[in-house]
Structure 1
Amino acid sequence: MSTPTRTPTGAPAHLTGPGSGGVGDSAQRPDGVLKVRGEFAYGSDLWMEDMLWGVTLRSPHPYARVVAIDTSAAAQLPGVHAVLTSEDVPGEKVYGLELADQPVLAVDVVRYQGEPVALVAADHPDTARRAAALIRVDYEVWEPVTDARTALGHPTTDALHESDAEVTELSRESAHLHPEGNLVRHLKVRTGDPQPTAEVVVVGEYEVGMQDQAFLGPESGLAVPADDGGVELYVATQWLHVDQRQICSALALPPEQVRLTLAGVGGAFGGREDLSMHVHACLLALRTGRPVKMSYNREESFFGHVHRHPATMRYEHGATRDGQLVYVKAAIWFDGGAYASSTPAVVGNGGTMGIGPYVVPNVHVDCYGAYTNNPPCGAMRGFGSVQTAFAYESQMDALAAELGMDPVELRCRNAMEQGSATPTGQVIDSPAPVAELLRRLEAMPLPAEADGEVDLRHMPGGVSNTTHGEGVRRGVGYAVAYKNVAFSEGYDDHSTARVRLEVVGGEPTATVHTAAAEVGQGLVTVEQQIARTELGVEQVTVHPKDTTVGSAGSTSASRQTYVTGGAVKAACEAVRGQLLARAERLVGRPVPDLRLAGGQVVSDAEEIAVPLADLLGGEAVEETVQWRHRPTEAIDPETGQGFAHVQYAFSAHRAVVDVDTELGLVKVVEMACTQDVGKAVNPQAVVGQIHGGTAQGLGLAVMEEILIRDGKVVNPSFTDYLIPTILDMPPMRVEVLEYADPHAPYGLRGVGEAPNISSGPAVLAAIRAATGLPLARVPVRPEHLTGTS
Structure 2
Amino acid sequence: MAPTTGPGRTPTQLDQGADTKGGVGESPLRPDGTLKVTGEFAYSSDMWHEDMLWGCTLRSPHAHAEIVSVDISEALEQPGVHAVLTYDDLPTEMKNYGLEIKDTPVLAHGRVRHHGEPVALVAADHPETARRAAAKIKVDYRELPVVHDEESALAKDAPLLHPDRDDDHARHVPHPNVVHRQPIVRGDAGAAARRADVIVTGEYEVGMQDQAFLGPESGLAVPAEDGGVDLYIATQWLHSDLRQIAPVLGLPEEKVRMTLSGVGGAFGGREDLSMQIHACLLALVTGKPVKIVYNRFESFFGHVHRHPAKLWYEHGATRDGKITHMKCRIVLDGGAYASASPAVVGNAASLSVGPYVVDDVEIEALALYTNNPPCGAMRGFGAVQACFAYEAQMDKLAAELGMDPVELRRRNAMSQGTLLPTGQAVDSPAPVAELLRRVKAMPLPLEAQWETVGGEPDVRALPGGLSNTTHGEGVVRGVGYAVGIKNVGFSEGFDDYSTARVRLEVVGGEPVAMVHTAMAEVGQGGITVHAQIARTELGVAQVTIHPADTQVGSAGSTSASRQTYVTGGAVQHVCRLVREQVLERGRERFGTYHPAWASAELLLEGGKVVTDGGEVLASLVDVLGDEPVEAEDEWRHRPTEAFDLKTGQGFGHVQYSFAAHRAVVEVDTELGLVKVVELACAQDVGKAMNPQAVEGQIQGGTVQGLGLAVMEEIVVDARAKVRNPSFTDYLIPTILDTPTIPVDVLELADEHAPYGLRGAGEAPTLSSTPAVLAAVRAATGRALPRVPVRPEHIVEV
Q: Secondary structure at the match of 1:143?
A: coil
Q: Which amino acid aligns with 2:557?
A: S
Pair 1:7–1:662, CA change in 2 (3 A): closer
Find the counterpart in structure 1 of residue 547 from structure 2.
544
Report the TM-score, using the length of structure 2 for normalisation.
Answer: 0.95
Q: Does the CA-based 8 Å contact 1:11-1:46 persist in structure 2? A: no
Between 1:141-150 and 1:387-396, the stretch displaced more is 141-150
C-alpha deviation, 1:622, in angstroms: 0.3
Q: Which amino acid aligns with 2:23?
A: G
In the TM superposition, what are the counterparts of 1:220-619 in structure 2 within 5 Å? Answer: 220-450=218-448, 452-585=455-588, 586-588=590-592, 589=595, 590-605=598-613, 607-619=615-627
Q: Secondary structure at the match of 1:726?
A: coil
Q: Does the CA-based 8 Å contact 1:62-1:711 persist in structure 2? A: yes
Find the counterpart in structure 1 of residue 177 from structure 2.
182
Q: Distance in 2 between matches of 1:605 and 1:445?
A: 46
Give deviations 1:197-226, integer Å, cap 9, x for gaps: 222100000000000000000000000000
Q: Secondary structure at the match of 2:752?
A: coil
C-alpha deviation, 1:150, in angstroms: 3.1
Q: Distance in 2 between matches of 1:462 and 1:210?
A: 26
Find the counterpart in structure 1 of residue 772 from structure 2.
763
C-alpha deviation, 1:177, in angstroms: 1.2
Q: Distance in 1 between matches of 2:379 and 2:11?
A: 26
Q: Which amino acid aligns with 1:787?
A: E
Q: Secondary structure at the match of 1:145?
A: coil
C-alpha deviation, 1:625, in angstroms: 1.1
Q: Distance in 2 between matches of 1:614 and 1:103?
A: 58
Q: Secondary structure at the match of 2:599?
A: coil
Where in structure 1 do 4 or more consecutive aligned residues deviate above 4 Å? Answer: 5-12
Find the counterpart in structure 1 of residue 750 from structure 2.
741
C-alpha deviation, 1:609, in angstroms: 2.9
Q: Distance in 2 between matches of 1:279 and 1:787?
A: 50
Q: Which amino acid aligns with 1:528?
A: A
Give deviations 1:325-372, integer Å, cap 9, x for gaps: 011000000000000000000001000001100000101000010000
Q: Secondary structure at the match of 1:470?
A: coil
Between 1:76-85 and 1:175-184, the stretch displaced more is 175-184
Taking every aligned residue pair, what percent have the same amino acid on both sides?
68
Match for 1:715 among 709, 719, 724? 724
Give deviations 1:520-574, integer Å, cap 9, x for gaps: 1100001100000000000000000000000000000000000000000000000
Match for 1:692 among 700, 721, 740? 700
Q: Distance in 1 between matches of 2:615 and 2:491?
A: 47
Q: Which amino acid aligns with 1:761?
A: P
Find the counterpart in structure 2 of residue 772 from structure 1.
781
Q: Distance in 1 between matches of 2:190 and 2:394?
A: 21
Give deviations 1:23-80, integer Å, cap 9, x for gaps: 0001110101111111111000000000000000000000001111000110111100
Q: Which amino acid aligns with 2:489?
A: A
Q: Distance in 1 between matches of 2:3 and 2:587?
A: 44
Q: Does the CA-based 8 Å contact 1:18-1:28 persist in structure 2? A: no
In the TM superposition, what are the counterparts of 1:96-115 in structure 2 within 5 Å? Answer: 96-115=98-117
Give deviations 1:132-156, integer Å, cap 9, x for gaps: 0000001111121111343134xxx
2:74 is the alignment partner of 1:73 = yes
Consecutive unaligned residues of structure 2, counting only runs of 5 or more, are 166-175
Q: Does the CA-based 8 Å contact 1:679-1:739 persist in structure 2? A: yes
Q: Which amino acid aligns with 1:127?
A: T
Q: Which amino acid aligns with 2:516?
A: H
Find the counterpart in structure 2 of residue 195 from structure 1.
190
C-alpha deviation, 1:580, in angstroms: 1.1
Q: Distance in 1 between matches of 2:284 and 2:363?
A: 49
Q: Does the CA-based 8 Å contact 1:462-1:468 persist in structure 2? A: no
Find the counterpart in structure 2 of residue 43 from structure 1.
44
Give deviations 1:367-426, integer Å, cap 9, x for gaps: 010000000000000000111111000000000000000000000000000010111010
Q: Secondary structure at the match of 1:749?
A: coil
Give deviations 1:722-741, integer Å, cap 9, x for gaps: 00111111111100000000
C-alpha deviation, 1:194, in angstroms: 4.4
Q: Which amino acid aligns with 1:36?
A: V
C-alpha deviation, 1:604, in angstroms: 4.5
Match for 2:687 among 661, 671, 679? 679
Report the TM-score, using the length of structure 1 for normalisation.
Answer: 0.96
Give deviations 1:271-299, integer Å, cap 9, x for gaps: 00000000000000000000000000000
Q: Distance in 2 between matches of 1:488 and 1:111?
A: 29
Q: Does the CA-based 8 Å contact 1:149-1:333 persist in structure 2? A: no
Between 1:594-603 and 1:173-182, the stretch displaced more is 173-182
Q: Distance in 2 between matches of 1:661 and 1:244?
A: 52
Q: Does the CA-based 8 Å contact 1:584-1:591 persist in structure 2? A: no
Give deviations 1:281-319, integer Å, cap 9, x for gaps: 000000000000000000000000000000000000011
Pair 1:117–1:126, CA change in 2 (3 A): same
C-alpha deviation, 1:6, in angstroms: 6.5
Match for 1:205 among 194, 200, 203? 203
Q: Distance in 1 between matches of 2:97 and 2:644?
A: 28
Q: Does the CA-based 8 Å contact 2:304-2:376 persist in structure 1? A: yes
Q: Secondary structure at the match of 1:708?
A: coil
Q: Does the CA-based 8 Å contact 2:603-2:612 persist in structure 1? A: no
Q: Which amino acid aligns with 1:648?
A: Y
Q: Distance in 1 between matches of 2:586 and 2:11?
A: 36
Find the counterpart in structure 2 of residue 14 from structure 1.
13
Q: Distance in 2 between matches of 1:755 and 1:606?
A: 42
Pair 1:149–1:417, CA change in 2 (3 A): farther
Pair 1:685–1:6, CA change in 2 (3 A): closer
